[in-house]
Amino acid sequence: MLRRTGSIAGARYAFTDRYGGASTAPYAELNLGDHVGDDPAAVDDNRRRLAAAMDLDPARLVLMRQVHGRAVAVVDGPQDPAAPLPEADALVTTGRDLGLVVLVADCVPVLLAARRSDAVAVAHAGRRGVEAGVVPATVAAMQELGARPDRIVAVIGPAVCGRCYEVPRELADQVTAVVPAAAATSATGTPALDLRAAVVAQLLAAGVETIEADPRCTAESPDLFSHRRDGVTGRFAGVVVT
Ligand SMILES: [Zn+2]
């Protein structure tokens, strides 16, 4: 269920693993994504279990429809269950008792909170999000809500590592032209991308000085969902509670 928990600038956070849920293969067990072909009732059940584990009313979980872009949705309260989710790859709030959720299965989940500010955020940074700059856009949105970048604390969750994320050379060149720190070499010596290193570089460039990173690689950790390893699979979550 919750594999890594802690707090950043006073906000509780956790990353989930694949255990303790209601979904069956290939989504077993704790799939939190409702866009991957799993039974919606199982996903709802799993989200309720996540909320309970975070000691939060399930109605106070805030989700987004992630599209690999750089849009940041500012939220100030619980979501209307009848309304569509915001199409965005980052959520920012200064609201209280909300659980911001980012869903991943290899992409980089980033959780952020700022000291001496109520601003809290999550971001979803895959290859396209890194290129588009969703992480700097998230820091900018927090700044607009009163957070100083040098007081922001970021936690980067499990993601596919540079040795496992082999890509065609043209794609590697395209991304490293934007973020040189993304350059990596795969385990077999071919071009690859290190998205976590890219996110760290983007955070530092945006003025964020306090960065923790979970070293686990999704593709190498059987207890985490990995799209690269398994194709059709579930999504695990990074969640931060305000
Ligand atoms: Zn790896």
DSSP-assigned states of every residue in the chain: -EEEEEEETTEEEEEE-S-S-S--TTS-S----SSSS--HHHHHHHHHHHHHHTT--GGGEE--B--SS--EEEE-SPPPTTSPPPB-SEEEE--SS-EEEEEESSSEEEEEEETTS--EEEEEE-HHHHHHTHHHHHHHHHHHTT--GGGEEEEE--B--TTT-B--HHHHHHHHHH-GGGEEE-TTSSEEE-HHHHHHHHHHHTT--EEEE---BGGG-TTS--HHHHSS---EEEEEE-
Give the per-residue pLDDT at 223.
96
Nearest 5 degrees, angle CA 202-CA 108-CA 236?
A: 155
How large a percentage of the chain has pLDDT more than 90? 98
Q: 124 CA distance to ligand 1 centroid (A)?
A: 19
Residue with tokens 């940074």: 125
Is a pLDDT exceeding 90 seen at residue 4? no
- Determine the Cα–Cα distance for residues 3 and 14; give it in Å rounded to an integer: 7
Segment 24-52 mean pLDDT: 97
pLDDT tens-digit profile of 141-191? 999 999 999 999 999 999 999 999 999 999 999 999 999 999 999 999 999
CATH entry, 2-241, from 3.10.150.10, 3.30.360.10, 3.40.50.2300, 3.60.140.10: 3.60.140.10
Give the per-residue pLDDT at 8.
95
Angle between helices 134-144 and 195-205 (to 10 degrees): 30
Is a pLDDT exceeding 90 seen at residue 3? no
Q: 76 CA distance to ligand 1 centroid (A)?
A: 37
Q: 152 CA distance to ligand 1 centroid (A)?
A: 28
pLDDT tens-digit profile of 75-101? 999 999 899 999 999 999 999 999 999
Give the per-residue pLDDT at 202.
98
Per-residue pLDDT band at 119 (split at 50, 70, 90) = very high
Per-residue pLDDT band at 11 (split at 50, 70, 90) = very high
Q: 187 CA distance to ligand 1 centroid (A)?
A: 9
Q: 88 CA distance to ligand 1 centroid (A)?
A: 27
Q: 227 CA distance to ligand 1 centroid (A)?
A: 12
Per-residue pLDDT band at 25 (split at 50, 70, 90) = very high
| HSE-up of residue 185 (Cα within 13 Å, Cβ side) | 2
Q: 219 CA distance to ligand 1 centroid (A)?
A: 5
Q: 162 CA distance to ligand 1 centroid (A)?
A: 6
**Sign of the four-CA dihedral 91, 129, 12, 149:** negative
Give the per-residue pLDDT at 116.
93
| Residues with a beta carbon under 5 angstroms from ion ligand 1 | 161, 164, 217, 219-220
Q: 213 CA distance to ligand 1 centroid (A)?
A: 14
Where do the structural domains in the chain lie, given as residue ranges?
2-241
Q: 160 CA distance to ligand 1 centroid (A)?
A: 5
Rounded alpha-carbon distances, angstroms, from residue 239 to 16, 61, 188, 199: 8, 9, 34, 18
